[in-house]
Structure 1
Amino acid sequence: MPTPSTSPLERRHLDLGADYLLRSVAILGRLFGGDVSRGLIYLTALQASSQHLRNGQDPCQTQLTDDDQRRPVSLSSIARSLSMSVETTRRQVLRLEHEGLVARTANGGVMVRFSSLGCEALREALAVNSINVQRLAGGLQRPAVEGVMPGKRA
């Protein structure tokens, strides 16, 4: 929450961050039938399973990889990173598995299926998110003006 001592730049960053987050949540909600937590679990598993492929590389140069190149992620790791209970995470992973978006490994790990990354709905969500990121970046580049919120004109 902004305080009277919050600078215009801090208020601007708060507003831009909130706008970006709310737009991102809306994207996830649309992509996962209104179930944002399922979307967060899917994204967390995807990020964690391919983190080792991105280390030290420009993210723009990282290619989508097949299932054999990614590493399984434990349920407890996903739950911890999202501050969710393991049981809630397990239930959501079971739904994702039933939908064919993730697979469970023999030792209980979770892997996002490579085939799920090519679906049309995900490509559309990525395109919308790209616009969302550009909006955030553009807002951060504009100078803050006292009393004027981002996206609004004086």
Structure 2
Amino acid sequence: MIEYDEVHQRAAIQLGSDYLLRAVGAANRHLGGDLTRGAVFIGVIQANIRLLAPSPEEDGIETACPKPVSGGALAAMLGIPAETVRRKVKTLIEDGYLVRVNGGLTVPAEVLARPEISRLVRANYLNLRRLFRQLRRVGVDMGRESGALGEALEN
């Protein structure tokens, strides 16, 4: 395990914070200016795919069956009141971003294919690549190359 000095830690925190602010800004711009609504939407996407197992045949993520998430689990994940999550979920369902299914909430594939959501995903992908490049540039170890996807999904 590599131990980092204070300079590396500060650089990683600064770059991570920059990434977070860019991601929040993109979600805010693409989802109507309500940060909490954006966080709930992204939380549902994350929960839907986080529980999927990696596909050993394709060395990727299995996407055939998203796993629903409950409002209570979202509230706990985001650290916000359940009533706030309930209100945001209600508006996201009314606007067609989420559906309620047996077991919780999911984001339908049609929603993920919408141009505004595709732009949000693309912006976040580019933002994440920028973070990785910057972390490498300041000497923060990104982990081993083989098996990185599996390790990332475990953490």
What TM-score results when the alignment is normalised by the length of structure 2? 0.77
Query: Residue 105 of structure 1 aligns with which residue?
Result: 101
CA distance in 2, matches of 1:45, 1:127: 18
Query: Residue 31 of structure 2 aligns with which residue?
Result: 32
Give the conservation status (yes or no) of the 8 Å contact 2:52–2:63. no
- What's the CA shift for 1:41? 0.8
- What's the CA shift for 1:49? 2.2
Query: Residue 133 of structure 2 aligns with which residue?
Result: 138
User: Against the structure 1 CA distance between its residues 127 and 106, is the aligned structure 2 distance closer, same or farther, given a 3 Å change threshold?
Assistant: closer
Alpha-carbon displacement from aligned partner over 1:1-34 (angstroms, at most 9, x marks no partner): xxxxx72212211210111111111011011111
- What's the CA shift for 1:63? 5.1
Which segments of 5 or more consecutive residues in structure 1 lack a partner in the other structure?
1-5, 145-154
CA distance in 2, matches of 1:58, 1:75: 33
What TM-score results when the alignment is normalised by the length of structure 1? 0.77
Q: How many residues are paired up?
A: 135
Which has the higher relative contact order, 1 or 2, with Cα contacts under 8 A spaced 6 or more apart? 1
Query: Residue 3 of structure 1 aligns with which residue?
Result: none
| Code of the aligned partner of 1:142 | R
User: Against the structure 1 CA distance between its residues 59 and 20, is the aligned structure 2 distance closer, same or farther, given a 3 Å change threshold?
Assistant: farther
1:82 aligns with 2:78: yes
Give the conservation status (yes or no) of the 8 Å contact 2:52–2:67. no
Name the % identity.
Answer: 30
User: Against the structure 1 CA distance between its residues 57 and 9, is the aligned structure 2 distance closer, same or farther, given a 3 Å change threshold?
Assistant: farther
CA distance in 2, matches of 1:22, 1:58: 36
| Segment of structure 1 superposing worse, 41-50 or 25-34 | 41-50
CA distance in 2, matches of 1:75, 1:85: 10
Give the greater-gyration-radius structure (CA). Answer: 1
| Code of the aligned partner of 2:132 | A
User: Against the structure 1 CA distance between its residues 60 and 116, is the aligned structure 2 distance closer, same or farther, given a 3 Å change threshold?
Assistant: farther
User: Against the structure 1 CA distance between its residues 39 and 58, is the aligned structure 2 distance closer, same or farther, given a 3 Å change threshold?
Assistant: farther
Query: Residue 119 of structure 1 aligns with which residue?
Result: 114
CA distance in 2, matches of 1:61, 1:70: 15
| Code of the aligned partner of 1:121 | E
- Out of 92, 103, 123, the residue aligned to residue 88 of structure 2 is 92
- What's the CA shift for 1:141? 0.7
| Code of the aligned partner of 2:134 | G
Q: What is the root-mean-square deviation of aligned Cα atoms in Å?
A: 2.3
